[in-house]
């Protein structure tokens, strides 16, 4: 059940965000309940090293998980690259979740800026997790730039709509069978997470669906189980859908059939 990204082996296929929780303790309890080994952290949460930022970083350290810093809120290549450099210095990791936002309403990635920023950062030794769309051509450009993992959206960030374009997501999986694919954004229910893993996706990254739940800890546990169920179903090779009914009990040779 393990997943390997940039040479690091993870036993959990659930990545969890760290914003929007009702309290720091609930965040820590949700992380523990989820069983996740990677949490995303925005550099903007660390804006005051001596005050709240340092306290937040201490909390994350106490969770004993790997940190995936992100460039959330960046709207240009230069801003994203500069933020990534600051994150590497602060968190002491080459990992970076790269976001270059192109639209304020949908928070859709600026795929042109994303590819450019990814190329720059990879040349500088970063291990980039790009938040991207479900476009095949963009995926190829990101892989050619040196990305070893792709993070296509399921739906707009925070929308909770699930997998808006299953066809496109299935096409990505079919075209890049050996590339780790992580659905990032739009997941609202555990069933959405199961759906993605049943399509063959390798992991899920989410935040709002857990943090804004009535009981974030219980929801984190539910997502953990959903991811496990989806992965197990994918490995079990699910039956293909049919247009016509197929009896589960053979009728040939059954006694007392009507003549």
Q: Tens of pLDDT along 146-197?
A: 999 999 999 999 999 999 999 999 999 999 999 999 999 999 999 999 999 9
DSSP summary character for residue 31: H
> Catalytic: 97?
yes
Q: Crossing angle for the helix pair 216-235 and 190-198, nearest 10 degrees? A: 20
Q: Is the pLDDT of residue 54 over 60?
A: yes
Q: Following DSSP, what letter does each residue of 122-161 receive, concatenated?
A: HHTT-EEEEEE-S-HHHHHHHHHHT-S-BEE-SSSTT---
pLDDT digits (tens, 9 = 90+) for 247-256: 777 766 666 6
Superfamily of domain 9-236: Aldolase class I (3.20.20.70)
Instruction: Kindly report the number of other CB atoms within 10 A of residue 168's CB atom.
Output: 15
Percent residues over pLDDT 90 in the chain:
77
Identify whether the C-beta of residue 240 lies closer than 8 Å to the C-beta of residue 50. Answer: no
Q: Is the pLDDT of residue 258 over 80?
A: no
Task: Determine the pLDDT at residue 257.
Answer: 58
Identify whether the C-beta of residue 71 lies closer than 8 Å to the C-beta of residue 100. Answer: yes
pLDDT digits (tens, 9 = 90+) for 81-96: 999 999 999 889 999 9
- Which of 37-51, 95-109, 189-203 is predicted with the least confidence, judged by mean pLDDT? 37-51
Do the annotations mark residue 249 as ligand-binding? no
Do the annotations mark residue 158 as ligand-binding? yes
Do the annotations mark residue 188 as ligand-binding? no
Catalytic entry in 51, 97, 170, 212: 97
Range 107-122 average pLDDT:
96
Instruction: Kindly report the number of other CB atoms within 10 A of residue 96's CB atom.
Output: 28
> Where would I find the H helices in the chain?
24-34, 52-62, 77-91, 111-123, 136-145, 166-175, 190-198, 208-211, 216-235
Taking the model in full, what pTM does it have? 0.90
Task: Determine the pLDDT at residue 49.
Answer: 46
Q: How far is CA 7 from CA 58, 80, 148, 175, 217, in A?
A: 26, 24, 10, 22, 30
Q: Is the pLDDT of residue 48 over 50?
A: no
Do the annotations mark residue 208 as ligand-binding? yes
Q: Which residue has the tokens 């496990």?
A: 228
Q: Is the pLDDT of residue 34 over 80?
A: yes
Domain range summary for the chain, segments of one domain joined by +: 9-236
Percent residues over pLDDT 70 in the chain:
92
| Bigger pLDDT: 132 vs 247 | 132
| Bigger pLDDT: 79 vs 46 | 79
* CA 253/CA 177 separation, integer angstroms: 44
């Amino acid at each position: 059940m393990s997943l390997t990204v940039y040479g690091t082996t993870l036993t959990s296929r659930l990545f969890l965000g760290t914003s929007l929780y009702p309290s720091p303790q609930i965040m820590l309890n949700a992380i523990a309940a989820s069983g996740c080994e990677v949490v995303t952290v925005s550099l903007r949460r660390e804006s005051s090293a001596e005050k709240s930022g340092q306290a937040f970083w201490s909390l994350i350290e106490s969770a004993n998980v790997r940190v995936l810093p992100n460039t959330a809120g960046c709207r240009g290549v230069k801003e994203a690259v500069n933020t990534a450099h600051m994150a590497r210095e602060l968190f002491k990791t080459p990992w970076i979740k790269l976001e270059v936002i192109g639209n304020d309403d949908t928070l859709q990635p600026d795929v042109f800026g994303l590819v450019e920023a990814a190329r720059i950062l990879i040349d500088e030794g970063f291990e980039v997790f790009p938040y991207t769309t479900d476009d095949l051509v963009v995926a190829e450009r990101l892989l050619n730039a040196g990305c070893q993992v792709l993070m296509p959206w399921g739906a707009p960030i925070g929308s909770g709509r699930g997998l808006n374009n299953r066809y496109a997501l299935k096409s990505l999986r079919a075209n890049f069978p050996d590339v780790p694919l992580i659905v990032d954004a739009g997941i609202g229910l555990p069933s959405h997470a199961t759906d993605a893993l049943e399509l063959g996706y390798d992991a899920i990254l989410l935040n709002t669906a857990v943090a804004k739940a009535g009981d974030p800890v219980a929801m984190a546990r539910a997502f953990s189980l959903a991811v496990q169920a989806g992965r197990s179903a994918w490995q079990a090779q699910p039956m293909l859908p049919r247009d016509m009914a197929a009896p589960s009990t053979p009728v040939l040779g059954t006694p007392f059939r009507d003549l």
